Amino acid sequence: MAAPALNLVIDARPSGPRGLLAAEVFMGRSVLSHLVEQALDLVGPGRAIAVLAGRGQIADLAPLLRDAEADRVTLVDAAPTVGAAVLRTDRLYDGRRLKRAVSRGRDPESAAFWRLDRPEALAGAEQELNRRLNYQPLGRYWAFPIADRLAAALRPTRVGPNALTLAAGGLMLAGAALVACGGSGWTVRAITALAFAAALVLDTADGRLARLQGSCSAFGRWLDQVLDELADVALHAAIAWAAFAATMEPIWLVLGMLFASGKYMFLIQSLTGEAMEKSSPRGAEAPRPARCGRLAWIVGPVRSLVGGMGHADLRWHVWIVLAAVGRLDAALVAYAAYFPLRALAGIARKGAAHA
């Protein structure tokens, strides 16, 4: 059987202590299923990938593919197409680094962060991937353990991850409504903070439950992102309205508009920037300028600090704390400046790179 002319191939032949690594299960799914999902996301809708099997292995690998994947995956027992990017089932890959490597024609091996061809590595694969998929600099100390137990308890039930996503969005919108109503008593503040904290747990648990139930889907990811952004904008609009109603100062409405427009600009420049890098060979091949000496010591920490300020987990904890003390207006002031500046910096950086 001749291999089709595809530019992405999964090598499913590597074996471990218990046989084919492609058949090993972690986070509720086989290694092959995890890798196929990642590969299909890389090639985009409507395109197919090839899975390279050893002699007599096609029958063993076919049951590992989910129905939604089978139509876009071709199992072959021939050598991969010359020039194709090859992903291996004895590796775990960082999604962002892998996307950059493939788009720039680099070896996918540069995006591998975990090897599965050792017994101890296979045992720790779930923990490492879980940590990366759910990285929470603050929430990992309390929200993730609760979410992990909740997902494990819901795994055998009919409750799906989308229900948790909707519940998290509902709690955030309910909290925003309380803020908009202008309640300043300690009871209202406590209820608002608890609603935000519970929403964070549910928002963490939905992805974990999806992987445990094997029900990860593009719709689920889309729903999660849409509700997160809706809650973000609704909360800051509520803060702006409550502050304006309390002081009758128009500056609060201006800050609300600055936040909304800045967040919109930030999202648009990020999404269109990724598409531009994919479609522009010049941008894909342009090397990053090397930083050395004193500049490297300054740029690295500053970039980490700026990126950390926009991290969803950190911002969620800021909301919880400020809601409890009745000072959510401080979050509006900070992020009404932060997102427009981030957006303008991103536009300038991409414009300079493609000038």
User: Model confidence over 118-135: pLDDT tens digits?
Assistant: 655 666 666 656 555 556
Q: For residue 180, what pLDDT is reported? A: 96
Of the given ranges (10-24, 69-83, 85-99, 274-288), which has the lowest mean pLDDT?
Answer: 274-288
Integer-rounded Cα Rg, in Å, for the chain is 23
Checking if the pLDDT of 4 tops 50, the result is: no
In the numeric block, the tokens 């909360």 are attached to 235
Domain boundaries, the chain: 8-133, 139-282+291-353
- The residues pairing with 74 across neighbouring beta strands, listed in sequence order, are 50
How many whole angstroms separate alpha carbon 227 and alpha carbon 249?
30
For 314-336, what is the mean pLDDT?
A: 96
In percent, the amount of the chain with pLDDT more than 90 equals: 37
Among 8-12, 68-72, 140-144, 251-255, which range has the highest average pLDDT? 251-255
Checking if the pLDDT of 329 tops 80, the result is: yes
Q: For residue 317, what pLDDT is reported? A: 95
pLDDT band, very low/low/confident/very high, at 282 (cuts 50, 70, 90): very low
pLDDT digits (tens, 9 = 90+) for 43-77: 888 788 889 988 788 888 888 887 767 788 888 88
How many whole angstroms separate alpha carbon 29 and alpha carbon 35?
10
Q: For residue 131, what pLDDT is reported? A: 57
pLDDT digits (tens, 9 = 90+) for 240-267: 999 999 999 999 999 999 999 999 999 8
pLDDT digits (tens, 9 = 90+) for 184-208: 789 999 999 999 999 999 999 998 8
Centre a 10 Å sphere on the Cβ of residue 211 and count the other Cβ atoms it contains.
22
Of the given ranges (41-45, 152-156, 323-327, 335-339), which has the lowest mean pLDDT?
Answer: 41-45
Question: Judging by DSSP bridges, how do beta strands 49-52 and 73-76 pair with one another?
Answer: parallel
Q: For residue 255, what pLDDT is reported? A: 97
Checking if the pLDDT of 288 tops 70, the result is: no
Of the given ranges (1-15, 133-147, 250-264), which has the lowest mean pLDDT?
Answer: 1-15
CATH superfamily membership of 139-282+291-353: CDP-alcohol phosphotransferase transmembrane (TM) domain (1.20.120.1760)
Strands (E), the chain: 8-11, 15-16, 19-20, 25-26, 29-30, 49-52, 73-76, 85-88, 91-93, 112-115
Q: Dihedral of CA 28/31/34/37: which sign?
A: negative
* Residues whose CB is less than 8 angstroms from the CB of residue 146 and which lie 6 or more positions away in sequence, other chains included: 201, 205
Record the tokens describing residue 325, joined without a space. Answer: 């003390």
pLDDT band, very low/low/confident/very high, at 284 (cuts 50, 70, 90): very low
Q: For residue 55, what pLDDT is reported? A: 79
Q: For residue 286, what pLDDT is reported? A: 43
How many whole angstroms separate alpha carbon 331 and alpha carbon 32?
43
B/e letters for 186-209, b = 16+ CB within 10 Å, e = fewer, are: eebbebbbebbbbbbbbbbbbbbb
Phi then psi for 99, rounded to 5 degrees?
-60, -40
Among 256-270, 287-301, 302-316, which range has the highest average pLDDT? 256-270
